[in-house]
């Protein structure tokens, strides 16, 4: 299953949370990544299970960086840094864009969310508010 099939649109995700409809998926709302459903929770937690990816994510919250800078930051090859970034990209924690470099283009990465919210039981937060 591709990540595109995992993500809810912004409107769908917000509606699911506020109406208590048990929509499953991954969506971003105002800097918060919201995750609901066992498969989606597993994918996000799996991506966050690496200390290397956590380090990358924390640094990208401070400033954007290209793959070469990320490789230096984690003391690994550019190929491995690119693989780590791809895992974070797949679930929507970071976003990449290509910018002109000294020789060709460079892939610049920035964090897209500051918080991750995992909904273990969709619809339960509305029941608690009543």
pLDDT in tens, 30-43: 999 999 999 999 99
According to the model, what pLDDT value does residue 14 have? 52
DSSP character string of 35-53: EESHHHHHHHHHHHT-HHH
The answer to whether 84 touches 54, Cβ cutoff 8 Å, is: no
Q: What is the largest CA-CA distance in the chain?
A: 59
- What CATH number is given to the structural domain containing 111? 1.10.10.10
Specify the number of domains making up the chain.
1
How far apart are alpha carbons 26 and 42 in whole angstroms? 11
Boundaries of domain holding 17: 3-129
Average pLDDT, the chain: 83
Helices (H), 63-121: 67-74, 78-90
**pTM, 2 dp:** 0.75
Higher pLDDT, 58 or 121: 58
């Amino acid at each position: 299953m591709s990540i595109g099939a995992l993500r809810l649109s912004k409107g769908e995700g917000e509606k699911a949370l506020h109406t208590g409809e048990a929509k499953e998926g991954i969506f971003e709302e105002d800097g918060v990544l919201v995750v609901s459903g066992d498969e989606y929770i597993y994918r996000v937690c799996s991506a966050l299970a690496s200390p290397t990816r956590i380090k990358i994510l924390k640094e990208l919250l401070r400033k954007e960086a290209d793959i070469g800078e990320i490789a230096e930051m984690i003391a690994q090859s550019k190929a491995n840094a690119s693989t780590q970034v791809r895992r974070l990209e797949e679930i929507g924690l970071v976003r990449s864009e290509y910018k002109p470099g000294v020789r060709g283009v460079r892939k610049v990465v920035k964090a897209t969310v500051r918080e991750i919210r995992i909904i273990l039981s969709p619809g339960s937060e509305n029941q608690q508010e009543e």
